[in-house]
Chains A and B, each alone.
Chain A
Amino acid sequence: MPVITYRQALNDALRAELTRDKSVILLGEEIGIFEGSYKITAGLLDEFGPERVLDTPIAEEGFVGAAIGAAMLGMRPVVEIMTLNFSLIAMDQIVNHAAKIYGMFGGQTPVPLVIRMPGGGGQQLAATHSQNLEVWFAHVPGLKVVAPATPADAKALLLAAIRDNDPVIFLENLSLYNTKGEVPDGDDVAEIGKAAVAREGTDLTVISYSRATTVALEVARQLAGEGISIEVVDLRSLRPLDRETVCASVRKTSRAVVLEDDWLSYGVGAEISATLMEGAFDYLDAPVRRVAAAEVPLPYAKPLERAALPDANDLIKVIRELLDATSFSPPAAGTAGTST
């Protein structure tokens, strides 16, 4: 299987869909001549022309709304918002229009729209340009929200999102674009709403999505060397949420930590914790723990930014605390352990 970047996987998926379906069009700021702020759409203007790849003025509310209208008449627009932060200007169109039109008008007109955008901090872009607002979207019925962690999922979920008949919020992450992974060549379409067990384990489950999944996997690999067996559940889709996969994993491991890049209060971890209360309470050996961003407007200065964002060390610290609190003792170092 070819190994490509997350960026290339997205580019491949867009090219494939533009080729397959004439109703697919791309809209966004700087996606054509400039080839995309993060070069996700590189080459597509040359290949498909300005009728399929539309450079827009800086007018997020306008072009997101226009994409909704085009979708209502049967187009399949894929909108790029340069970063998630700028989607706030389009929020009314996303929440009051894209998410409502199908249901509020009695199911007469679907809105097959994809809005792609990268979020994430850690690049010293300061408070307004570093946000993780996934729960803003995940809270809204009528939207579907996916957040792939790997190049393979990026492609498979983007194909699925474009073919889906509902508005799909497709969350990318700035720090994932250069990551690499195996991606099948063909038409591998994911099922929206399904989590993946990204790594099997028996002692503790880390639940995460997007960039955080790559951190969780790295930590799981590291702790395996100490005989700690971590299962990583990659949510992939935040709405709908695959509660069953999450609960099944924790029923097996009895310990759960959520690693999320958003702010703690009202975050994804809060929803997962509530889900586990309902679906795995009797199996839990200790309360669910959350590792999330400090609740401040993210500062520019590197030492402050680093302190505010969750990283592998924070996750390891919490995993150890949780294992200690539940009297976990690993088997002989070097072998993956079994649970309590």
Chain B
Amino acid sequence: MAERRKSAAARGKEPAAPAKTGDSGHFPADEPPERLLGYYADMVLIRKFELSADQMYKRAKIGGYCHLNLGEEATVVGLMDALQPSDYLFTNYRDHGYALMRGMTPGAVMAELFGKSTGVSKGRGGSMHMFDTATRMMGGYGIVGGQLPPATGAALALTYRSRPGPDAEVVMCQMGDGTTNIGAFHESLNLAAVWNLPIVYVIVNNRLGMGTTVEAAAGEPELYKRGCSYRIPGERVDGTDVVAVREGAGRALDRARLERKPALLEVMSYRLRGHSVVDPARYRSAADVETAQAADPLPLLRRRLLAAGLMDEARAQDIESEADKKVAAAVAFADSSPDPTPDQLFDYAYASPVANAAHALPGDPAVVIP
């Protein structure tokens, strides 16, 4: 993880106009080169992790639904670098990259994908359900919009225990573009507005919800404007530019931290592949796929770093082979970890143990006659 950011306010930055592409822009003059290299390393790690997850799915090491962050690496890294360790995060099911950047080990995340007891959710959640109290990742959620009301409530809880200020804890709630069409989005934003909650809603606009374009599904396709009815200011940033994402997230988080008010951030991103690993995405036009590939944030950042003389080819390759090693170690860890055993089935059924909890396996009698 790259070194932590200072708040955008502390750095005296003006809100930037929404950028178009991450390719041509210059890095901010005060941006430490090592930090940029750190971003590249983080993005490469996510990329390699996701490609490996795809492979492992095909080898049946991973089952169920599996949604990847391929194409969204700059978005994920920029958002997560803007957070402080004391902040809380809620995401949707496309959550592997967030788990990694929040600080879970690649081994524990891969083990969750493998359904192993060493996984971050003990193998009970799988791909869509990464959770880790230590890093305040409060869950990936598989029901579209499901994370929004609980994230809003987490922000409510924060108002009872901390005051606004530069070190205030806040909540970030990530979602996809398609999620802005569900009632929970609108109800949550309204609650956050009327209760003045310290929360940043982040829309990762990868232009598609499964096969549906934003234009086909949203009455207001400029999604950052959807906070209008709740007087929640919105900003759109270029999700292929990790620094732009971090800065945009920083401004939104500052509002939550310093003013205790909700904010909305739309991060324009791309999904490089299908909705999930099993979706061949035949509904996508060749032009659309080409646009997405041209906006692939990894080669973009690599080229920029090389062009700016901040990284040479050898360093780039070091970073890439370092990520390969981490991912290989994660797979080895997951593979050699133990499966949960059926006698653990009823573990965690209730947080307060209850005498009559049902512990019958299929076919066990419900009542045993003494």
Would you call B363 and A318 a contact (CB within 8 A)? yes
Given contacts A61-B183, A304-B342, contact A33 B115 (CB under 8 A): no
Report chain B residues within 8 Å CB of A129. Answer: 64-65, 128, 142
By the criterion CB–CB under 8 Å, are A34 and B362 in contact? no
In whole angstroms, how far apart are the Cα atoms of A243 and B178 in the complex? 44
Contact for A89 among B182, B345, B361, CB less than 8 A: B182
Q: Is the CB of B63 within 8 A of A124?
A: yes
Q: Which residues of B contact A (CB under 8 A)?
A: 63-65, 115-117, 123-126, 128-129, 141-146, 178-179, 181-184, 209-212, 216-218, 283, 339-342, 344-346, 349, 358, 360-363, 365-366
Residues of B within 8 A of A58 (CB): 144-145, 178-179, 181-182, 209, 217
With contact pairs A126-B128, A304-B124 given, residues A299 and B340 touching in the complex (Cβ less than 8 Å): yes
Q: How far is the CA of A294 from the CA of B362 in the complex (A)?
A: 6
List the 10 closest pairs (A to B, CB-CB), nearest first: A300-B126, A34-B211, A124-B63, A301-B115, A314-B363, A307-B342, A124-B64, A57-B181, A310-B362, A301-B123
Q: Binary interface profile of A, 208-228, with partner B (CB < 8 Å = 1, else 0)?
A: 000000000000000000000
CA distance A273 to B216 in the complex (A): 49
Interface string of A109-136 (1 = CB under 8 A from B): 0000000000000011111110000000
Of the residues B181, B210, B344, contact of A34 by C-beta under 8 Å: B210
Binds B, one of A16-24, A175-183, A189-197, A284-292: A284-292
Do the beta carbons of A57 and B358 come within 8 Å of each other?
no
* A73-89 Cβ-contact flags toward B at 8 Å (1 or 0): 00000000000011001
Contact indicator B115/A307 (Cβ below 8 Å): no
| Extra A-B contacts (19), CB below 8 Å, given A30-B212, A89-B145, A126-B129 | A30-B211, A33-B211, A37-B210, A57-B178, A57-B181, A58-B144, A58-B179, A58-B209, A86-B143, A126-B64, A126-B125, A265-B358, A265-B366, A292-B362, A295-B349, A301-B124, A302-B339, A303-B339, A308-B362
By beta carbon, the residue of chain B nearest A129 is B142
Distance from B247 Cβ to chain A, minimum over Cβ atoms (Å):
30
Q: Which of B117, B340, B362 contacts A291 (CB 8 A)?
A: B362
Q: Using known A-B contacts A57-B178, A58-B178, A59-B183, determine if residue A34 contacts B345 with beta carbons closer than 8 Å.
A: no
Please, how many angstroms separate the alpha-carbon atoms of A55 and B142 in the complex?
21
| CB closest residue in chain B, given A261 | B362
Write out the residue numbers on chain A whose beta carbons fall within 8 Å of the beta carbon of B344: 304
List residues of chain A with CB within 8 A of the CB of B366: 264-265, 290
Q: Across the interface, do B345 and A307 meet the contact criterion of CB distance under 8 Å? A: yes
Complex Cα gap A318–B365 (Å): 9
Whether A276 is near chain B, meaning CB under 8 Å from some CB there, is no
B182 touching A55, Cβ below 8 Å: no
B148 smallest CB distance to A (angstroms)? 12
Q: In the complex, are the beta carbons of B346 and A296 less than 8 A apart?
A: yes
Q: Taking each of B64, B65, B141, B145, which has the highest tally of chain A beta carbons within 10 Å of its own beta carbon?
A: B64
Q: Does the CB pair B183–A62 fall under 8 Å?
A: yes
A293 within 8 A of B: yes
Smallest CB gap from A37: residue in B? B210
* With A58-B181, A59-B182, A59-B183 as contacts: A124 and B362 at CB distance below 8 Å: no
Contact B342 A303 (CB under 8 A): yes
Is residue A317 within 8 Å, beta carbon to beta carbon, of the partner chain? yes
Contact with B along A2-46 (1 / 0, CB 8 A): 000000000000000000000000000110011001000000000
Residue A311 at the chain B interface, CB threshold 8 Å: yes
Residues A294 and B361 in contact, CB atoms below 8 Å apart = yes
The answer to whether A156 has its CB under 8 Å from any CB of chain B is no
